[in-house]
Amino acid sequence: MTRVGVLALQGDVREHRAMLEHLDVETVPVRTPADLQGLQGIVFPGGESTAIAHLLKSSGLAEALGELINDDFPVFGTCAGLILLSSEILDGRAQQWSFGALDVAVRRNGYGRQIASFEVPVSVSGIGEYEAVFIRAPRIERVSKEVSVLASLDKDGEHPVLIRQGNLWGCSFHPELTTDSRIHDAFVQSL
């Protein structure tokens, strides 16, 4: 059985676990480096990237996960989770820390703040139309040529919203807040 971790420091952990379990994936809430044993991949949930970044450091997970990511460990980062994977954070908190693994620049709250949360259909490569939920979403403003864009959104200009670079996936919206499991399924199938 596929075994996938969900980083469980802060954010919408329960929703990601429910989605993965619906796909018959065994999930493990990851709070310490020991929880990483035997996983085939991990999801970084949405939430508050500065809070999660802080807890990653104090739990020792920043270092343990950094090593795994260097060794090509699969990670799916949604919203705040995408910010944590990115190499460049625009409008971040002073000295906001990230893994710098996905070669992209993201702007925190780039689509506006809470009031600007919205739902919109996007066309996902290999999947088709998908109803995407954006909540204080980061906007992807630059991707390197190593990054594949699987979906983008034309809102104040065209910006990628679902990307993949090798084993790293990043999504600026929240696929865990719908009943449509096709994006999680694509990640799981890639493991």
Give the residues lining the site for ligand GLN (CB under 6 A). Answer: 46-49, 79-80, 83, 108-109, 135-136
Q: Which amino acid is at 182?
A: R
8-state DSSP, 81: H
* 79 vs 143 by CB, closer to ligand GLN: 79
* 139 vs 164 by CB, closer to ligand GLN: 139
Identify the three-state secondary structure at position 58: helix
Q: Which residues contact 16 (CB under 8 A, 6 or more apart)?
A: 6, 27, 43, 45, 78, 176, 184
- Alpha-carbon span 175 to 172, nearest angstrom: 9
The yes-or-no answer on residue 184 being catalytic is no
Q: How far is the CB of 1 from ligand GLN (least distance, A)?
A: 28
Q: How far is the CB of 13 from ligand GLN (least distance, A)?
A: 12
Identify the three-state secondary structure at position 44: strand
Q: How far is the CB of 136 from ligand GLN (least distance, A)?
A: 4
Please identify which of the residues 15, 79, 171, 184 carries the catalytic annotation.
79
The yes-or-no answer on residue 176 being catalytic is yes
Residues 52 and 85 sit within 8 Å (Cβ to Cβ): no
Q: How far is the CB of 38 from ligand GLN (least distance, A)?
A: 27
- Alpha-carbon span 129 to 101, nearest angstrom: 28
The yes-or-no answer on residue 171 being catalytic is no
* 70 vs 113 by CB, closer to ligand GLN: 113
* 136 vs 184 by CB, closer to ligand GLN: 136
Please identify which of the residues 16, 159, 171, 174 carries the catalytic annotation.
174
Residues 175 and 150 sit within 8 Å (Cβ to Cβ): no
Kindly list the catalytic residues: 79, 174, 176
